[in-house]
């Protein structure tokens, strides 16, 4: 069992969960330490910090290492070197284009000019600083890579907490972020240079090949980012400030749930890319295992968010924001969409143009229908429309993947594990709901039943692992 866990996505998930949980609670802590105005600046800064690498397509070469890692060793090392070089060049574009436009960017984002310098530098080092960890995972080192990222994410959280307590100045948090990620960039580059995966000498043929492969991935990532945020962009123009706060807080991002999807994909893509063409059955088993591995975490998480939505909102934001609970109940369905690894096969087979085409089509449809819904319907209905298009986008990717591999969709889904996990969660949901009247308050019920749900679920899961041997 330990060998199976070590070879799958679980080392990445468990290591990354430490820092991701800290990142989940970091804004909650900062909100109790910094002023509301400073928290607004904090949110804006990191919103654009996440968007800028997408705008400059810098993440594509980094994500493509999972494809090139499946090549023979001599070719693989050359491809990885050129991936680093391309990511670095695209990241340099952030500084070269951004610095002359500092004043314009400050006016557009409502940030200070000094904050823009930190924003541009942070965006520059963000992608390239992850090269060591991403290549380690792509090459099968599922402990070293995530451990490297986890150390620096933990340092970032600790730094933010200390700076917030002792200085209460949001600018110092931005300086701390830039300092930590600059150190991460230097260490990452040094380690990969020693490993033979860093070069500053361009190979035009390989660079062009990498660019043609990762361009559709980068563009689809940009479109996907815009699509994911479109409901909030649109509703911010139609809702009062307090109503928009309820909405955005209800769309609760739970980092470990995003991490499990990314961890599973990172393991799956190299396996699909490196397996012999004749081993279609093995590839299909890898694909089904990826879905069941994701389901182990995603399905119980959905039930937890659904059952305890009011209590979670009260715990995180106090009962002043209880109206956010109705949005959280609906938003919980968005995590079930993660069960479909819609882009793993196109990325593993080099058919990345299809990823962009699907993202563009459903991105345009989503923007159009979400905008119409925002004008004519309530915020909760806008959220439902947004989730429907996210589902259709992923399902279309699944259909395309089935055609590429010449599989039937029903043969790509691990029905038995999904059924067992769902039935277990329904049983535990019923058990928790039936005991609600036994507690003096809903929060007491939550404090007892939420951990009980998790413990019982994993006890049952461990028993099934043991029975499988």
Instruction: Please report, in tens digits, the pLDDT of each residue of the chain (469 residues total).
Output: 445 445 555 666 666 667 777 777 787 777 677 776 676 677 778 878 988 898 898 888 888 888 887 777 778 888 888 988 999 999 999 999 999 999 998 887 777 889 999 999 999 999 888 888 888 877 777 777 778 888 898 899 999 999 999 998 889 999 999 999 999 999 998 988 887 777 788 888 888 998 988 887 788 778 777 777 777 767 766 766 567 667 777 888 887 788 788 778 877 887 777 655 556 667 888 888 889 889 989 999 999 999 999 999 888 877 777 888 999 999 999 999 988 888 788 878 777 777 778 878 888 888 889 889 988 888 899 999 999 998 998 898 889 888 888 888 888 889 988 999 999 999 999 999 999 888 888 999 999 999 999 899 988 877 765 555 4
Please tell me the predicted confidence (pLDDT) of residue 469: 46
| Chain centroid to CA 189 | 24
Given CA atoms 54, 245, 251, 448 in this order, what sign does their dihedral have? Answer: positive
In the chain, % helix, strand, coil (3-state, to 5) comes to: 85, 0, 15
**3-state DSSP assignment of residue 277:** coil
In 3D space, the residue among 28, 22, 397, 56 whose CA is nearest the CA of residue 249 turns out to be 28
Work out the burial of residue 201: count CB atoms within 10 Å of its CB; fewer than 13 is exposed, 13-18 middle, 19 or more buried. exposed
Please tell me the predicted confidence (pLDDT) of residue 184: 94
In 3D space, the residue among 19, 13, 82, 468 whose CA is nearest the CA of residue 267 turns out to be 13
Encoding tokens for residue 13? 């998930």
Please tell me the predicted confidence (pLDDT) of residue 93: 94
- Other Cβ atoms less than 10 A from the Cβ of 4: the count is 10
Please tell me the predicted confidence (pLDDT) of residue 274: 65
Interatomic CA distance for residues 232 and 81, integer angstroms: 38
Interatomic CA distance for residues 227 and 219, integer angstroms: 12
Interatomic CA distance for residues 12 and 17, integer angstroms: 8
Cβ atoms of residues 78 and 205 within 8 Å: no
Sequence-distant (6+) residues with CB within 8 A of 397 are 340, 342, 343, 346, 355, 358
Interatomic CA distance for residues 127 and 118, integer angstroms: 15
Work out the burial of residue 132: count CB atoms within 10 Å of its CB; fewer than 13 is exposed, 13-18 middle, 19 or more buried. buried
Interatomic CA distance for residues 383 and 380, integer angstroms: 5
Q: How far is CA 400 from CA 126, 351, 362, 388, in A?
A: 32, 10, 14, 18
Q: How many CA atoms lie within 13 A of 428 on its CB side?
A: 28
Please tell me the predicted confidence (pLDDT) of residue 466: 54
Task: Tell me the pTM.
Answer: 0.67
Sequence-distant (6+) residues with CB within 8 A of 314 are 322, 443
Please tell me the predicted confidence (pLDDT) of residue 444: 92
Cβ atoms of residues 317 and 263 within 8 Å: no
> Which DSSP letter does residue 368 get?
H
User: 255-274 and 280-307 are packed helices; what angle lies between their axes, rounded to 10 degrees?
Assistant: 180
């Amino acid at each position: 069992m330990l060998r199976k866990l070590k070879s799958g996505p679980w080392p990445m998930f468990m290591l990354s969960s430490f820092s991701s949980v800290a990142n989940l609670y970091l804004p909650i802590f900062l909100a109790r330490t910094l002023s509301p105005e400073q928290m607004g600046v904090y949110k804006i800064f990191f919103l654009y910090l996440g968007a800028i690498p997408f705008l400059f397509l810098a993440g594509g070469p980094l994500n493509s290492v999972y494809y090139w890692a499946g090549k023979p060793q001599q070719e693989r090392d050359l491809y990885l070197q050129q991936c680093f070089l391309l990511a670095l060049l695209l990241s340099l574009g952030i500084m070269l284009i951004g610095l002359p436009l500092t004043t314009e960017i400050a006016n557009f984002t409502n940030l200070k000019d000094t904050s823009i310098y930190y924003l541009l530098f942070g965006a520059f080092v963000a992608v390239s600083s992850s090269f060591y960890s991403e290549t380690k995972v792509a090459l099968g080192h599922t402990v070293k890579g995530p451990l490297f990222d986890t150390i620096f994410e933990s340092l970032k959280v600790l730094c933010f907490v200390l700076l917030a307590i002792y200085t209460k100045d949001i600018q110092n948090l931005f300086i701390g972020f830039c300092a930590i990620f600059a150190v991460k960039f230097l260490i990452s580059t040094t380690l990969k240079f020693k490993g033979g995966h860093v070069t500053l000498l361009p190979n035009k043929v390989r660079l062009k090949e990498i660019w043609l492969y990762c361009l559709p991935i980068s563009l689809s990532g940009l479109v996907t980012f815009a699509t994911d945020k479109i409901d909030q962009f649109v509703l911010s123009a139609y809702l009062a400030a307090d109503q928009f706060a309820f909405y955005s807080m209800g769309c609760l991002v739970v980092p470990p749930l995003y991490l499990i999807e990314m961890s599973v994909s990172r393991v799956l893509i190299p396996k699909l890319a490196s397996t012999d063409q004749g081993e279609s059955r093995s590839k299909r088993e890898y694909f089904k295992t990826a879905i069941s591995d994701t389901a182990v975490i995603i399905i119980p998480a959905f039930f937890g968010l659904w059952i305890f939505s009011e209590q979670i909102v009260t715990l995180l934001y106090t009962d002043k924001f209880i109206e956010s609970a109705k949005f959280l109940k609906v938003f919980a369905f968005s995590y079930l969409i993660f069960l479909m690894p819609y882009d793993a096969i196109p990325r593993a087979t080099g058919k990345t143009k299809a990823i962009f085409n699907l993202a563009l089509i459903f991105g345009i449809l989503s923007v159009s229908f979400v905008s119409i819904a925002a004008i004519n319907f309530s915020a909760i209905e806008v959220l439902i429309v947004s989730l429907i298009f996210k589902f259709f986008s992923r399902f279309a990717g699944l259909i395309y993947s089935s055609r590429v591999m010449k599989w039937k969709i029903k043969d790509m889904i691990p029905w038995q594990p999904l059924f067992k996990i769902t039935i277990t969660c329904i049983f535990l949901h019923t058990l928790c709901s039936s005991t609600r009247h036994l507690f003096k308050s809903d929060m007491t019920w939550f404090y007892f039943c939420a951990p009980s749900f998790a413990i019982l679920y994993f006890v049952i899961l461990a028993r099934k692992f043991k029975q499988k041997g």
